[in-house]
Structure 1
Amino acid sequence: MRIGLLTQWYDPEPGPAALPGALARGLAERGHQVEVLTGFPNYPDGQLAPGYRIRARQVEVDGGVRVTRVALYPSHDASPVRRLANYGSFAMSAAMLGIPGAFRRLDALWVNYSPVSLALPMLAQRALRRTPALVHVLDLWPDTLTATGFGGGDGLAGRSALRVADAACRAMYRYAERVAYISPGVGAVLAERGVPADRLAYAPMWADEALFAPRPAPYPRPYDLPEDHVVLVYAGTLGRAQGLDGLIRACAAVTDLPMTCLIAGSGVEEERLRELAVGAGAANVRFLGRLPASEMTGLMAAADASYVSLNDDPLAAITMPSKVQAILASGRALVASVPGDAAQVVGDSGAGWVVAPGDVSGLARALREMGACGRGGLEVRGRNARAYYEQHFSRARGIDRIEGLLRAVASEGSR
């Protein structure tokens, strides 16, 4: 098949932004002709990746995949105006500079639904070439706006932004042959919003398996970690949606344990969280700042367990953080302060402990139980994690699902 991928996020952007690249190469490895329309890499800090400069249009070939990049305004900070400029500039460039020269003879189009401003280039491709599409809901919009505090439903501007985002979502659902979702709860919400059941499909995403895989613990231990300490790692964004206050307060309640908590990453909440750790007396918490991707494998190998959390927003119950798959793929035990779908996965996997968001005392108890397991006991839970990942979330299984959906989409388009 000739397959197009429409996504604002793409290599060399890290974390969840790297998943479209893995999908593109996976499809190319299976013999498909794959073309990508994306922006210039600037996630997660809004700084243009080394080796790139903004141009109207640039074409690359990567791993047998033809990648067309179009201009955008690079930004990923807390400013609503600058973030909207980032989303809107890519959508306009993709529709006006990308679509006319790309995606000429496609059998099917995969669309990364986040941000929903991609409705504009998706509908441009639909109008120009009637290409059948698979829309993949990786983050549920417009709910994501309110959960992160970005949209701010109060006031005329906030309400207008939510209405525009909702209209874009509904247009994408209407004109897609299939709508895929990554957690069961999202599928239920999409059905409630009028997406026909026969057009919905469950298609969870995988981890970056080059980075996240079982590896032996390094010796000697890095980061000056004591040999007898159980090490809990949080790696990711330090923002509102992660709700990391509870982790710091729980760590402050278990300073008598031989345990160290490493927090790697940055974000709008970083300075406040550092101050909270000092004020709460969480001497067992260490902030590493943002680490390069090359150091992530060593960090995960140094972990005896990893932490994932969400705040108590209603959207959290149907959110599947990409860190869940990353931790399971790494074969590490998992401490999770999450509700809903993510909690179900952690519980079913036998990989660790689940507490409700905001339950600091419950999280402190989980940390004590984790410490009581010791490093040997946590290795057993880590093996459970990897086995569950291979059965449910592996890249091979994920690409199987998406490839099958794209074949169905292409078949319907040909009729």
Structure 2
Amino acid sequence: MRILIVSQYFWPEKFRINDLAVGLKEKGHEVEVLTGKPNYGKTTFYEGYSFLNKSRETWNDIKIHRAALIPRHKANNIDLVFNYLSFALFGSIKAFFLKGRYDKIFVFVPSPIISGVPAIVLKRRKKIPIYFWVQDLWPESVTATTDIKNKRIINFLESVTHWIYKNCDKILIQSQAFTPSILQRANDEKKIIYYPNSVEALYKVVSPLGEFKRQLPQGFTVMFAGNIGEAQDFNTLLNAACITRDHNKNIKWVIIGDGRKKPYVEQKIADNNLQDVFFLLGERPVEQMPNFFACADCLLVSLKSNYIFSLTIPSKVQSYLACGKPLIGALDGEGARIIKDANAGLVSDAEDSVGLANNIEKMSKMSVSERAKLGNNARAYFELEFEREKLLDKLEDIFKSDL
């Protein structure tokens, strides 16, 4: 099949869609990507990119068509609005002039949902079916993660969401809990297909290596990997760290990643004298993450208490499960359910710092064999529900069912 992937984000930005594109290519499909100029996590474009240059590239034998856009700058609400709208506009212009022939359009949709507009432009021009892979619910995620409360804006986003879903042939959802919200706007249950995230094949069980162990503090290591943002609720983590420090100074919190809240977290570490137990290692190459995970005693996932967040499966859950380590969850809903169903760790409610601290102390007192059993359960559940090749086969079946 000839597949065009539409995504505002793509390599060298680090998103799951990169590996899915490679996976489809490995299975013999012709894959092209319509995306924007890379700028995620930066105040401007990635090095070597600008508003006008590199409109075409090739990566892993995948042809990339890059639309101009306005970078995220400081990523405040106004900056993000211009960033989102610019890709919808310039991506649509780019789509209109694409000369390739495609059998399917596959749209990767974290935020914003309007990144699907270029796909609809191309569908109307060339009569190609659209498969819309929803990672975040709109407009709910907007009201949950921003201070936008204006009813006119929310009603506008609601109308846009209805229009986009109406123009999709299939809507793939990363969490089964998305179904009621999607159905309310798509009005067609037959469109909706559960299709969860997997992870790159590099996420697997590996042996701990000294070169990575030496980068970590000595003690019982609780490791968090990913975005240091509002949704991840670092206040709860920091409060729990204060509790564990007072009870057991051997418990060390290690954060690998970066994000808008990092300066805030750094200040809180200083204010609460957590420098000896709470460590920010910064970003590391994705290829190294399984090695860091192997050196940790448990892996931490957290989200704020919010109805929308409770419907989402944080993508780090699959990464953690794949690496066969015990999980500590401080979250509600689907993410918590998966950890419990897998019998892969301990879970407390979102924003419950006391419960989180108690679970970490409980896990620190487990024997090595008890924690190893939880890790084995994690890997087994991953292979059953989220294994990469199995999900690529499922996506092929979804495509072929409409041929």
* TM-score (norm: length of structure 2): 0.93
**Corresponding position: 1:124 with 2:121:** yes
Q: Counterpart amino acid of 2:266?
A: R
Residue number in structure 1 paired with 2:342? 349
Select the residue among 348, 360, 378 that pairs with 1:367: 360
Residue number in structure 2 paired with 1:268? 260
Determine the C-alpha separation between the residues in 2 that align with 1:334 and 1:163: 39
Determine the C-alpha separation between the residues in 2 that align with 1:193 and 1:44: 31
Residue number in structure 2 paired with 1:393? 386
Is the CA contact 1:262–1:288 (under 8 Å) kept in the aligned structure 2? yes
1:84-129 Cα deviation digits (max 9, x unpaired): 1111111111111243124x32111111233212232122112211
Cα RMSD after superposing both structures: 1.9
Residue number in structure 2 paired with 1:173? 165
1:127-148 Cα deviation digits (max 9, x unpaired): 2111111111111111111111
Change over 3 Å in CA distance of 1:12–1:374 after alignment to 2: farther
Residue number in structure 2 paired with 1:235? 225
1:329-368 Cα deviation digits (max 9, x unpaired): 1211110111111111010111111110111111111011
Residue number in structure 2 paired with 1:214? 205
Determine the C-alpha separation between the residues in 2 that align with 1:76 and 1:407: 41
Residue number in structure 2 paired with 1:6? 6
Which SS does the other structure have where 1:373 is aligned? coil
Is the CA contact 2:237–2:353 (under 8 Å) kept in the aligned structure 1? yes
**Corresponding position: 1:135 with 2:128:** no
Determine the C-alpha separation between the residues in 1 that align with 2:138 and 2:293: 31
Q: CA deviation at 1:281?
A: 4.2
Q: Counterpart amino acid of 1:159?
A: K
Greater shift, 295-304 or 25-34, is seen at: 295-304
1:52-88 Cα deviation digits (max 9, x unpaired): 3332662222223221111111216331111111111
Which SS does the other structure have where 2:65 is aligned? strand
Determine the C-alpha separation between the residues in 2 that align with 1:363 and 1:342: 15
**Corresponding position: 1:330 with 2:323:** yes
Q: Counterpart amino acid of 1:309?
A: S
Q: CA deviation at 1:166?
A: 1.8
Following superposition, which runs of at least 4 residues in structure 1 exceed 6 angstroms of deviation? none
Q: Counterpart amino acid of 2:350?
A: P
Pick 1 or 2: higher relative contact order, CA cutoff 8 A, min separation 6.
1
Q: Counterpart amino acid of 1:84?
A: V
Residue number in structure 1 paired with 2:217? 225
Give percent identity, aligned residues only.
27
Q: Counterparts of 1:28-47 in structure 2 under 5 Å?
A: 28-47=25-44
Is the CA contact 1:184–1:202 (under 8 Å) kept in the aligned structure 2? yes
Determine the C-alpha separation between the residues in 1 that align with 2:260 and 2:58: 35
Q: CA deviation at 1:295?
A: 4.3
Is the CA contact 1:347–1:353 (under 8 Å) kept in the aligned structure 2? yes
Select the residue among 171, 195, 198 that pairs with 2:187: 195
1:176-212 Cα deviation digits (max 9, x unpaired): 11111011110232123343111110000112332x2
Greater shift, 312-321 or 400-409, is seen at: 400-409
Residue number in structure 2 paired with 1:79? 76
**Corresponding position: 1:182 with 2:179:** no
Change over 3 Å in CA distance of 1:113–1:348 after alignment to 2: same
Which SS does the other structure have where 1:308 is aligned? strand
Which SS does the other structure have where 2:304 is aligned? coil
Select the residue among 243, 246, 262 that pairs with 2:236: 246
Which SS does the other structure have where 2:308 is aligned? helix
Is the CA contact 1:57–1:97 (under 8 Å) kept in the aligned structure 2? no
Determine the C-alpha separation between the residues in 2 that align with 1:309 and 1:321: 9
Q: CA deviation at 1:13?
A: 1.0
Is the CA contact 1:231–1:304 (under 8 Å) kept in the aligned structure 2? yes
Determine the C-alpha separation between the residues in 1 that align with 2:329 and 2:48: 38
Q: CA deviation at 1:403?
A: 1.7
Determine the C-alpha separation between the residues in 2 that align with 1:196 and 1:76: 38
Determine the C-alpha separation between the residues in 1 that align with 2:62 and 2:260: 35
Aligned length: 398
Determine the C-alpha separation between the residues in 2 that align with 1:110 and 1:355: 36
Which SS does the other structure have where 1:253 is aligned? helix
Change over 3 Å in CA distance of 1:395–1:76 after alignment to 2: farther
Which SS does the other structure have where 1:378 is aligned? helix
Q: CA deviation at 1:224?
A: 5.0
**Corresponding position: 1:110 with 2:102:** no
Structure 2 residues not aligned, in runs of 5+? none
Change over 3 Å in CA distance of 1:267–1:125 after alignment to 2: same
Change over 3 Å in CA distance of 1:194–1:39 after alignment to 2: closer
Which SS does the other structure have where 1:84 is aligned? helix
1:232-271 Cα deviation digits (max 9, x unpaired): 1111111111112111111211224222111122222222
Residue number in structure 2 paired with 1:55? 52
Q: Counterpart amino acid of 1:189?
A: S
* TM-score (norm: length of structure 1): 0.90
Q: Counterparts of 1:294-305 in structure 2 under 5 Å?
A: 294-305=287-298
